[in-house]
Chains A and B, each alone.
Chain A
């Protein structure tokens, strides 16, 4: 999963499209998101007067580089799924921009979006809800080809059977129906469908959370292998911090519609800088009874505030043990306090004694806090 950049440059020319040159340029992100906002209006009364808005996603910036896996974690209601639906353009953003391979796709019409749909695919959480029970597996996996008017080499049926084999199912399953499969197998079908058109970016929203532990590992390994084989770029949205640690190269932590920390996997898990990340990591139970007494757990008080009326300043301040006056008045920007480690906090952890109000240049302080 780590050394796919080479892979990527090899694979990309195989795929259709005109912007490949830009994408394989290494530095250019595959997906670039700036100031992304999605507010769901709340209307009241007969005249549907807008009374407020659920600020599901409220101004987030991030890049997805070709060949990498970006993990997105957060608790329920933090906006991670909405974010996934926005970057795949299944939902219309309220503000901000989304660029895919250098092209602004924020407000493209469904017709204009169609060519892009080939390159961006989604794997859904619920393997029961995401497959039409009245269609055969062959029908489900060949739908992308029919919608896009693509005639695969060697015929549709052959290609679908190749895909089924690729995800570890038997080609004989072609004429069966979803109810004949277990949860893990259904998730494989969903993956086969997502990979049908050789996408560049795959957004997976909780791809394994509905599966049993032993099956979960099978699907995680499968996604891993496919990434290496096909040079895929993943955005994996999950609430399980152990799974995210295993699959991701970089990780974005979301809280109440904002990214609070964005960092390389190693740095995030070994020296988290945002108090929320620290609390989140300390809350995960470790499967080792000997460690239960040694652990230094931070118990957060209360629940996540409502996204209809989020706290002023820093959104985490109501549950944060380090909150001060400045946290209520000023919203902390997401800045790089170390190389490749961005955090939005006035009082970051593991940052040495440097006054947090004056964030250092990127790169400085890389030695501290380790």
Chain B
């Protein structure tokens, strides 16, 4: 909130990659995102979709990003993929700052052409809606062939063999025949598989799946989640899975990041975040969800109110208007000072003004028994 003038300046000038341009900071993880900000100037004001996000991810690990619509999860993934500024025209429309280090290369300040060379080969993305992500006019095979030939200097025949191999790997029956089908000839689950095949054709080291199963039925969802898990084991890539479904995250993620109003409110090892969440918003999410594994018919505990506007994010803690504990900290702290992420041990961070012990007590005494 304090540095909005800087952000505006960032809209015109090149974003600030502060220290030692071109060289990875020491101890950097495979993917290291530091203080990422993505702001969109609109007629109504500056939309702060992502406002100071920091996280890291190693190869072979899966990070789950959860949050409701408008919390900034998808904007984050597009930022990592360099898709907010793929062209000069887009470049002027979005203000990005912070650093994204992928395997020692900084992406925020990098030339769009440089990012384009990485996109598809080192990092790839699976989108939510396969029907709009696949081109209806070209055969599935041709689209995979194209994705492969952009990054590999091979002839069409070799690329086609590779496409068939990938379709087979993701479980499409009769891949040598289906390779010539068009997307409309595939079912929803098969389209999602085809998209995964396309994303993995170049063996990317980072795979981002943005709501990969939201449009699918549960039985198909289970198949796709299994497939993503198996493929990760096989290729050892880093995976970011973005979803609003805590169940999907619990199924796949090693680490969890909870977003609210463009910021991270809690992150840590998935087991810790689920068994002892430390942020009232995470409690709210868990309390809002009906559980398939329990016969509970009393009332759910929803979060009151609705998500904040990203143009006018509440001052202090963004969650304060909806937080039942907002009045507990002294000096009106929740409404004036933005809480920093603080560690509570074992890589578990949360951003809340309430003292750790107090939150621990509320969780074990008030929240957990009601879930």
Which of A30-38, A46-54, A237-245 faces chain B?
A237-245
Say yes or no for A281: interface residue by CB 8 A criterion: yes
Residues of A within 8 A of B226 (CB): 299
A299 to B247, CA, bound (A): 17
Q: What number of B residues sit within 8 Å (CB to CB) of A?
A: 49
The CA-CA distance from A287 to B291 in the complex, in Å, is 8
Interface residue stretch chosen among B85-93, B99-107, B148-156, B279-287: B279-287
Q: Is B177 an interface residue (CB 8 A)?
A: no
> Which residue of the partner chain, among A1, A184, A217, A218, contacts B289 with CB atoms under 8 Å?
A217
Taken together as a complex, chains A and B put the C-alpha atoms of A185 and B290 apart, in Å, by 20
B245-267 contacts to A, CB under 8 A, are 245-251, 253
Are A289 and B217 in touch, CB under 8 angstroms?
no
Contacts of A299 in B (CB 8 A): 219, 222-223, 226
A213 close to chain B: CB less than 8 A: yes
Give Cα A303 to B190, complex, Å. Answer: 9
Q: Which of A1, A214, A218, A286 contacts B297 (CB 8 A)?
A: A1
Q: Are B288 and A216 in contact (CB under 8 A)?
A: yes
Mask, A249-279, CB within 8 Å of B = 1, is 0000000000000000110011000000001
Q: A239-B217, A245-B290, A283-B221 are in contact. Are A290 and B297 (CB under 8 A)?
A: no
Please determine whether B299 and A287 come into contact, CB atoms closer than 8 angstroms.
no
Per the 8 Å Cβ criterion, residues 157-204 of A in contact with B are 182, 184-185
Q: How far is the CA of A284 from the CA of B218 in the complex (A)?
A: 6
CA distance A110 to B345 in the complex (A): 67
- Closest chain B residue, CB of each to CB of A244: B290
- Tell me the smallest distance from the CB of B314 to a CB of chain A, in Å: 16
Give chain A nearest CB distance to B172 CB in angstroms. 11
**In the complex the two chains form, is A288's CB within 8 Å of B219's CB?**
no
Does B302 contact A290, Cβ atoms closer than 8 Å?
no
Q: Is the CB of A217 within 8 A of B219?
A: no
Selected contact of A265 from candidates B188, B246, B293, B295, CB within 8 Å: B295
Taking a contact as CB atoms under 8 Å apart, the answer to whether B292 and A270 are in contact is no
Interchain nearest-CB distance for A62 vs B (Å)? 21
Q: With contacts A286-B292, A288-B250, A292-B251 known, is A246 near B297, CB below 8 A?
A: yes
How long is the Cα–Cα vector from A221 to B244 in the complex, in angstroms? 20
Query: Does residue A13 face the partner (Cβ distance < 8 Å to B)?
Result: no
Q: Provided the pairs A213-B244, A246-B290 are in contact, do residues A182 and B306 lie with their beta carbons within 8 angstroms?
A: yes
Residues of A within 8 A of B303 (CB): 214, 217
- Interface of chain A, helix or strand or loop or mixed? helix
Q: With A213-B68, A289-B271 as given contacts, are A242 and B306 in contact (CB-CB < 8 Å)?
A: no
Chain A hits for B250, CB < 8 A:
285-289, 291-292
Q: For residue A215, which residues in chain B have a CB less than 8 angstroms away from its CB?
A: 68, 302, 306
Do residues A242 and B222 form an inter-chain contact, with CB atoms below 8 A? Answer: no
**Pairwise interchain contact B292-A213, C-beta atoms closer than 8 A:** no
Judge if B301 is at the interface, Cβ distance under 8 Å.
Answer: yes
Q: Evaluate contact between B219 and A279: CB separation under 8 angstroms.
A: yes
CB neighbours (8 Å) of A279 from chain B are 219
A288: chain B residues at CB < 8 Å are: 250, 274, 293
Selected from B190, B217, B225, B304, the residue in CB contact (under 8 A) with A75 is: B217
Residues of B within 8 A of A11 (CB): none
Tell me whether B69 and A297 are in contact (CB under 8 A).
no
- Contact B247 A285, beta carbon cutoff 8 Å: yes
Please state if A220 and B290 are interface contacts (CB–CB under 8 Å). Answer: yes
**Bound CA–CA A12/B69 (angstroms):** 41
Q: Does B187 contact A (CB under 8 A)?
A: yes
Indicate if A76 sits at the interface (CB-CB under 8 A). yes
A152 to chain B, nearest CB (A): 30
Asked if B28 is at the interface (CB within 8 A of a chain A CB), the reply is no
Q: Does A20 contact B (CB under 8 A)?
A: no
> Does B275 belong to the interface (CB within 8 Å)?
yes
CB distance from A300 to the nearest CB of B (A): 5
A285 CB contacts on chain B under 8 angstroms: 221-222, 225, 245, 247-248, 250-251
For B272, give the chain A residue with the smallest CB separation: A289
Contact A243 B295 (CB under 8 A): no
Q: Are A220 and B300 touching (Cβ within 8 A)?
A: yes
Query: A212 interface residue, CB < 8 Å from B?
Result: yes
Are A241 and B69 also in contact (CB < 8 A) when A2-B297, A265-B295, A288-B250 are?
Answer: no
Task: Contact check, A270 vs B274: say whether CB atoms are below 8 A apart.
Answer: no
Shortest beta-carbon distance from A284 to chain B in Å? 5
26 pairs from A and B in contact (CB 8 Å cutoff)? A75-B218, A76-B188, A212-B69, A212-B244, A213-B68, A214-B68, A215-B302, A217-B301, A218-B302, A218-B304, A241-B218, A242-B247, A242-B291, A246-B290, A266-B295, A280-B218, A281-B292, A285-B251, A286-B247, A286-B250, A287-B247, A287-B250, A288-B250, A288-B274, A289-B274, A299-B219
Rank and list the top 5 A-B pairs by shortest CB-CB distance, nearest first.
Answer: A285-B247, A217-B302, A246-B290, A217-B288, A214-B303
What would 13 more interface pairs be, CB under 8 Å, given A76-B217, A217-B289? A214-B68, A214-B302, A214-B307, A215-B68, A215-B306, A242-B247, A245-B291, A245-B292, A247-B290, A286-B250, A286-B251, A287-B246, A288-B250
